[in-house]
Structures are given as structure tokens and as C-alpha cells.
């Protein structure tokens, strides 16, 4: 399996499909690169090179004790782009992966980047503060930490339901999607999982978003029960110059069903513009 070594020696797993302009996918917590398989195949079939990595601590990447925070996540992504010498890349980040993409641009700029996509992404800041009253209170994230610490297997099974909007009336529930979410989540080391909760909830990406200078699509479901629309996409689009906002009516946080199909269409359209 292909790996790149990060600055501290942590091995970062990645998948590399197809050829053409690179589209680099960053996954959400607590998943791994496999969560992007449908989109990777979609773009590779249409003449793009699809690349996705497992964030450190997740999936098949190394489980480092230190470095489970946004600066290092972004530097790991930079190491991947540098090692593969990717140019004119389109960076696509979902949820925590959207934070990773945002911090990458904030720290490393856009010399290798042509476009960016933030889907259900955590920027600019998830945590409620005096300056960010629309965020979620710290008790929400403390509850996530408590669930992971007490019985992470059951917690992940339970989390998959609101993640994909399966608790909504009339939702078409896929046990297979829930099982896949649980399988990917159980591959995360508990230290990395807990550290990442702090990273995605308490990192302020405001200044990073102001550094975006490439075409950017900000996409979000208006029924996202994990990353609220108001404190994320609606705030981010005000900070990224010229960004395009797409809000999916009834869309949940996780890619599934009609929401996934609609996003796929928008992704292809954005890539070929």
C-alpha cells in the first residue's frame, strides 16, 4: 500500500486512482479515505486523478501520540501534495477534512491549488464563544468525548444515525451505510479520535479562510445535525472572496442517497467549469 512519511515520521496512507488534473479528498471524523470512494471513482472515470489519504490516527495511517491537531494535519496534506508533486490540484474537504483543507491554504497557500470545495465543513469555528454565538456549546463536544471514552463502538453506531439523517421522518435507512460508518470509525485510535474532537471543534479558521484566492465551492445541507449550517457555511462564504454557496434542502451531514447524488453533480460541474 502507498504511504508518505510526515515530518515526524508518521506514515500517511493514500489512494491514487486515474490520471489527469488531481482532485485531492480529505475525509471527516472519525472516518477514512474510503468514505470518498464513490466520488473518487466518479472523478477518475471522467479524466481526473483522484487521491485521498487517511488522516494520521485514522484508518491505515500511523497512530502518532502527538500531532493530532490541525496544523499537523495540514502539514501532512502538504507533504502528500509535495511528495506526489501535485499541481493545479482541486482540494475537497468534508467536515473535519474541510478544516484540514482550510488550514492547509492558510499555512501553505495556493501555489499547488486550482480550486477548493468545502462540504459540510467545520470552518470557521464550531465552538460557541462570545465572538461566535451561533456555535455549539462546549458541552456538546464534551458529550462526544464521553461517548468515545465510555463505549466508542456503540457511540459510533449511534452517531451514524443523525450523521446521515436517518432519524428524520421518512428517511430511507441503509443498514449497510451505518455498518460502513462503524467499521471505518473503529479503525481510529482512541487517542487520535479524542484529540481530533478538540481539533475540529476548537480551531478557529477565520484567518485561514481570508487567505483563499482560488474558486471555492462551499456546500452544506440545511438539515445538518452535526455541523450547523449557520455557524459554518453561511459564515465561511462571507470570508472567502468570490465563493459559491450551495445549500441542499433537507441535506444531512453525511453523503448518502439523494444528497450524495446532488453533490456529485455539483462537484463534476465545478471541476469542469
Q: Which residues are catalytic?
A: 95, 224, 253
Calculate the alpha carbon distances from 33 to 43, 112, 158, 165, 244 in Å.
15, 21, 21, 21, 25
Buried b (16+ CB within 10 A) or exposed e, 138-176: eeebeebeebbeeebeebbbebbbbbbbbeeeeeebeee
Which phi and psi angles does 38 have, rounded to 5°?
-60, -40
Instruction: Report angle CA 97, 263, 72 to the nearest 5 degrees.
Output: 10
User: Is 7 exposed, middle or buried, given 0-12, 13-18 or 19+ CB atoms closer than 10 A?
Assistant: exposed
Q: What ranges make up the beta strands (E) of the chain?
A: 3-5, 11-18, 21-26, 48-53, 89-94, 113-119, 216-221, 244-248
Q: What angle do helix axes 190-202 and 138-163 make, rounded to 10 degrees? A: 110
Structure letter (DSSP) for residue 127: B
DSSP codes of every residue in 147-198: HHHHHHHHHHHHHHHHHTTTTSTT----HHHHHHHHHHHTTS-HHHHHHHHH
Amino acid at each position: 500500500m502507498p504511504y508518505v512519511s510526515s515530518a515526524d515520521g508518521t506514515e500517511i496512507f493514500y489512494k491514487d486512482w486515474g490520471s489527469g488534473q488531481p482532485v485531492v479528498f480529505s475525509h471527516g471524523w472519525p472516518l477514512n479515505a474510503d468514505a470518498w470512494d464513490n466520488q473518487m471513482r466518479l472523478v477518475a472515470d471522467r479524466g481526473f486523478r483522484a487521491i485521498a489519504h487517511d488522516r494520521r490516527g485514522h484508518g491505515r495511517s500511523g497512530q502518532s501520540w502527538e500531532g493530532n491537531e490541525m496544523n499537523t494535519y495540514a502539514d501532512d496534506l502538504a507533504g502528500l501534495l509535495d511528495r506526489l508533486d501535485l499541481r493545479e490540484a482541486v482540494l475537497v474537504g468534508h467536515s473535519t477534512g474541510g478544516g484540514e483543507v482550510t488550514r492547509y491554504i492558510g499555512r501553505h497557500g495556493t501555489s499547488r491549488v486550482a480550486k477548493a470545495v468545502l462540504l459540510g465543513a467545520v470552518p470557521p469555528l464550531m465552538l460557541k464563544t462570545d465572538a461566535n454565538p451561533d456555535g455549539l456549546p462546549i458541552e456538546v463536544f464534551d458529550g462526544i468525548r464521553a461517548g468515545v471514552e465510555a463505549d466508542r463502538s456503540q457511540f459510533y453506531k449511534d452517531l451514524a444515525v443523525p450523521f446521515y439523517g436517518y432519524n428524520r421522518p421518512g428517511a430511507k435507512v441503509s443498514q449497510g451505510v451505518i455498518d460502513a460508518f462503524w467499521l471505518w470509525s473503529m479503525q481510529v485510535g482512541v487517542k487520535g479520535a479524542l484529540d481530533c474532537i478538540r481539533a475540529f471543534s476548537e480551531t478557529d479558521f477565520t484567518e485561514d479562510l481570508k487567505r483563499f484566492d482560488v474558486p471555492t465551492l462551499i456546500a452544506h445541507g440545511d438539515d445538518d445535525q452535526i455541523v450547523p449550517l449557520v455557524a459554518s457555511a453561511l459564515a465561511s462564504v462571507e470570508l472567502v472572496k468570490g465563493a459559491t454557496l450551495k445549500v441542499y434542502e433537507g441535506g444531512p451531514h453525511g453523503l448518502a442517497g439523494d444528497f450524495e447524488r446532488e453533490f456529485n453533480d455539483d462537484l463534476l460541474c465545478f471541476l469542469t467549469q
